[in-house]
A and B are shown apart, each in its own frame.
Chain A
């Protein structure tokens, strides 16, 4: 079964870069990699996605390995507001003819002032 593997928790100092890793060795060619984060008492919130190439947006960067079996979410300057659980998700093309999210267990990021 498709799955993603992430560290349970990580810590970072405020205003320093954070690299959140994810392994997805079962990924297929049509599967997208999505990252979401979840703040306390809220639902998951979209951060970034990619397929093969590295991606940048205003929130973060996504570095995807050449074989696509791993990826890294990069927060360039962590702030206290970035403390959250970060989910690495495979968006799988399935037999239903649509895509479906497969969530990892998430990494709880703690940002130290």
Chain B
């Protein structure tokens, strides 16, 4: 069974440009999460989808970030316009259930560099 996949693996853009990251969760997983790690900091939660609905978006840094999950399958995270401080690694994860004991399966991440 395929794991969580993310595209692209790397993206280098200039400040002010737009970038869209994609995440394909494990088939059948209703829960999809986005995280990011900026340089020197810990991995931080961004938001959580249950199917196509945003359950918790408390970690989204500002309105330059837009996440969607149309149809409850794959998700996209768009950054528009990108700023230097958006550089980092963006991880996507999925899980089957919502209980506190449910494990999350992480993708390999997208490394975003904003110049």
Contacts and interface: CB of A to CB of B under 8 A. Distances in A.
Interface of A: 30-32, 34, 36, 41-46, 49, 51, 87, 91, 93-94, 96-106
A87 B43 contact: yes
Interface residues of B, number: 27
Contacts, number: 63
Nearest to B50: A98
B100 A51 contact: yes
B26 interface: no
A102 B91 CA distance: 14
Given A44-B43, A105-B42, A99 B105 contact: no
B103 interface: yes
Given A91-B100, A96-B55, A99-B98, A43 B44 contact: no
A1 B101 CA distance: 21
Interface stretch (B12-20, B69-77, B106-114): B106-114
A91 B105 CA distance: 14
A100 B56 contact: yes
A96 B100 CA distance: 14
B45 A100 contact: yes
15 contacts: A43-B93, A43-B109, A45-B106, A46-B103, A91-B100, A93-B100, A94-B56, A96-B55, A98-B55, A99-B98, A100-B48, A100-B58, A100-B59, A103-B42, A104-B42
B108 A34 contact: no
Contacts of B58: 94, 96, 100
Interface string B45-67: 10010100001101100000000
